[in-house]
């Protein structure tokens, strides 16, 4: 008898095989990374962005080549911190449909193997096996679609933040020059 908290895992293995459990683990990792990025953006990144702008405004030189290069380096560092898990997210999104396909192929092999043993007269058993074999593909595609939506949204946020940061740093310099004039 399994503990109560392991019953959903047992149901997953019965419904779609061990590949479905692997897809569930990949989904948990994918959504954990997505949650971490959301928290990072709203807590850490926004504070770091404000500190960067304040540090840029506090500089006496804003117009020289070295100052503009420094501004670009600082901006790139901050945007790179925001972009850091993006390759991992894309890898996990790509992996989900492939794992689903693997689950379907192994499930169909099991269906054909059982047909070879029992004969072809059991259409209901065959239909149940085919349904069980396609469940990993459905799960893999569903996780990949949600992960793809999040990944594309994160890329959009990164592009927007990159542009906003460049614009805001330029405006901050203009505002401080206007106030001193």
Tens of pLDDT along 116-153?
Answer: 776 666 667 677 778 778 889 999 999 999 999 999 99
- Residue 128, in any domain of the structure: yes
- In a 13 Å sphere around the CA of 130, the CA atoms on its Cβ side amount to 7
In the chain, how many domains are there?
1
Q: Quick check: 114 and 129 in contact, CB under 8 A?
A: yes
- Residue 4, in any domain of the structure: no
| Helix, coil or strand: residue 59 | coil
- In a 13 Å sphere around the CA of 99, the CA atoms on its Cβ side amount to 25
The DSSP result for 88-126, as a single string, is HHHHHHHHHHHHHHHHHHHHHHHHHHHHHHH-TT-HHHH
* Arithmetic mean of pLDDT, 84-111: 91
- Residue 153, in any domain of the structure: yes
- Which pLDDT score is estimated for 171? 83
- In a 13 Å sphere around the CA of 70, the CA atoms on its Cβ side amount to 14
- Residue 136, in any domain of the structure: yes
- Residue 2, in any domain of the structure: no
CB 22: neighbour CB atoms within 10 A?
A: 19
- Residue 64, in any domain of the structure: yes
- Residue 3, in any domain of the structure: no
- Calpha distance 33→76 (Å, rounded): 21
106: containing domain: 17-180
pTM score: 0.80
Which of 75-89, 122-136, 163-177: highest mean pLDDT? 75-89
- In a 13 Å sphere around the CA of 60, the CA atoms on its Cβ side amount to 0
């Amino acid at each position: 008898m399994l503990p109560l908290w392991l019953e959903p895992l047992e149901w997953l293995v019965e419904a779609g095989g061990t590949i479905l459990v692997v897809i569930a683990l990949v989904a948990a990792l994918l959504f954990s990374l997505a949650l971490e990025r959301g928290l990072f953006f709203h807590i850490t990144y926004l504070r770091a962005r404000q500190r960067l702008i304040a540090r840029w405004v506090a500089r006496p030189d804003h117009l020289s080549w070295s100052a503009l290069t420094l501004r670009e380096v600082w901006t790139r560092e901050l945007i790179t911190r925001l972009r850091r898990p993006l390759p991992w997210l894309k890898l996990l999104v790509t992996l989900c449909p492939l794992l689903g396909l693997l689950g379907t192929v192994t499930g169909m092999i099991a269906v054909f193997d059982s047909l070879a043993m029992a004969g072809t007269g059991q259409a209901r058993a065959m239909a149940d096996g085919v349904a069980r074999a396609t469940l990993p593909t459905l799960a893999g595609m569903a996780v990949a679609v949600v992960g793809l939506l999040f990944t594309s949204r994160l890329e959009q946020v990164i592009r927007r933040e990159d542009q906003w940061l460049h614009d805001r740093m330029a405006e901050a310099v203009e505002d401080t020059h206007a106030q001193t004039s």
